[in-house]
Structure 1
């Protein structure tokens, strides 16, 4: 779990229903008590894409505190009184019910909205850092057939366990930290990008001569914005 200045953090990410952009709209943290604040750097961009303040947190400039995980977030998790709760915890390799940890491991996604909880990369950890994510920008690269959107039909052959090439996209006009993923072939086909909320940390790792590996983990044809999941390790 990411820790900064003694606090554990999760990013609260909102996905625009119009263009699929994932924007970090806030940060949930804990150290004794729980705190939620909006992300000042990104909230204006989110609003331009249709985001509105969360009902439980109506003021963008306010810092919200609570002794427990805020109900608006914990309500996204399975009830600890469920008969099958031990199976759920086992799925996420957890021994005990911990709302914050379960949000981190499950992502806290619901079919009724577009929020997700992401474990960020905040510290200069010298140990291996492991994250899993869906490749971003696949619809606009060579990977997917745009004519079948939102269903995903891959135009490039990929297999589970396949290693991808990780490079800094120095020509990207929208994000100076953009990290591009390529197929390891003679053509070097462009697969997509590492999500923007990880790109700055990954670029820093690359510039520090740390090894960054990305391996295809699984596929889904149902949603072109979440069609290829990757496991990334920063060694």
Structure 2
């Protein structure tokens, strides 16, 4: 967008699992990091603390190299298995920015991750992600670790706006072929997908992976395309 490439930094509040877009990292010749005004204050009220490397929420931080606070979240390029890691994310060479975009740069020590945002001026948009809120819709049997709802790989899912959602005014329900809600589009994509629906863009959402987990946060993975 505007000749810059962007990824968003998302923070998850551990009590409610609500996600907030707290910052954006962009590049065009040099890197810039800034906090996102829309969500940062809400996140701070719920316990988010500005990153040590970026203490001022009103500052725009610049660097000709990717910030160490973010590159440290990635596997070392000197690892013996680095080629396998790059192949996993369909990268031909080690690019820290692209690797953050593809992998999310998640660590077990915090609740931060990077996501590749959707900009609707793009054509042939394609994203892969996990459906949010699955644990609220009785998808997994926690005791047997088996799925309760019938869901097939490559099944086409229905996206429907939820006008009564009190947590996200752009909320999008995800519905299976049996007309049952299985979860929601993650909040960091909901505004753009809501606008795409209103503008009658051609949208396709299909299941590409399904499994049970302890928290059911990464149970149903989908591939979304917008033309």
Whether 1:174 and 2:167 are equivalent positions in the alignment is yes
Describe the shift of the 1:157–1:53 C-alpha distance in structure 2 as closer, same or farther (beyond 3 A). Answer: same
Describe the shift of the 1:175–1:8 C-alpha distance in structure 2 as closer, same or farther (beyond 3 A). Answer: same
Whether 1:51 and 2:56 are equivalent positions in the alignment is no
Whether 1:92 and 2:95 are equivalent positions in the alignment is no
Deviates more, 1:214-223 or 1:77-86: 214-223
Whether 1:229 and 2:221 are equivalent positions in the alignment is yes
Alignment check: 8 A CA contact 1:13 1:23 kept: yes
Mapping of 1:17-166 within 5 angstroms?
Answer: 17-125=14-122, 127-144=123-140, 148=142, 154-166=147-159
The 2-side partners of 1:169 and 1:154 are apart by 25
The 2-side partners of 1:87 and 1:175 are apart by 38
Whether 1:219 and 2:210 are equivalent positions in the alignment is yes
Report the CA distance between 1:174 and its aligned residue.
Answer: 2.9
Select which of 182, 189, 197 maps to 2:188.
197
Give the TM-score, by structure 1 length: 0.90
The 1-side partners of 2:162 and 2:225 are apart by 19
The secondary structure found in structure 2 opposite 1:163 is coil
The secondary structure found in structure 2 opposite 1:224 is coil
The 2-side partners of 1:143 and 1:48 are apart by 31
| Structure 1 runs of 4+ with >4 Å offset | none
Alignment check: 8 A CA contact 2:147 2:211 kept: no
The 1-side partners of 2:124 and 2:165 are apart by 28
Select which of 5, 8, 11 maps to 2:5.
8
Segments of structure 1 that go 5 or more residues without pairing to the other structure are none
Report the CA distance between 1:175 and its aligned residue.
Answer: 2.2
Report the CA distance between 1:18 and its aligned residue.
Answer: 1.4
The 1-side partners of 2:60 and 2:16 are apart by 29
- The aligned length equals 226
Give the TM-score, by structure 2 length: 0.93
Report the CA distance between 1:142 and its aligned residue.
Answer: 4.6
Deviates more, 1:113-122 or 1:136-145: 136-145
Alignment check: 8 A CA contact 1:143 1:190 kept: no
